Amino acid sequence: MVEYRPAEVQLVFRASSRFSVSEDKQFENVPMAYVLWYTDIPSVPSDTSGMFVVRKALDHANHPQGAVISLNKIIFHCPLHPSIIGDPRPQLTKENISAFATEFYINPFSSGQVYQ
């Protein structure tokens, strides 16, 4: 089975040799993305929801784990559905929910790549 790791794309850019601090030309003019990682997709869905549960990946200081990756490493779009517990909060919008939610669901039926 192929393993995928969910991430949230923060920025898409192209590295320029004018700003390179290295002689390595491997990434020159290659489309890149800065992503924030989520935890690995579990091998089985949650018993209660029937969906896969992922969280934001955090480092030892509780900061989000991020990375710069080549854009061709992004394989497919994976909708993440925030877990909202408790009363609805009107200040949450589709634009800011990912900053506040800590747990997200992946519907195993939403994509042929995720469906098992």
pTM of the model: 0.79
Provide the pLDDT for residue 61. Answer: 97
Provide the pLDDT for residue 94. Answer: 85
Break the chain into its structural domains and give their ranges. Answer: 7-106
45 close to 54: Cβ distance less than 8 angstroms: no
List average pLDDT for each run of 10 residues in the chain, which is 116 residues long. 82 75 64 95 91 95 94 89 83 86 88 57
Provide the pLDDT for residue 91. Answer: 87
Provide the pLDDT for residue 69. Answer: 93
Three-class SS string for the chain? CCCCCCEEEEEEEECCHHHCCCCCCCCCCCEEEEEEEECCCCCCCCCCCCCEEEEECECCCCCECEEEEEHHHCCCCCCCEECCCCCCCCCCCCCCHHHHCCEEEECCCCCCCCCC
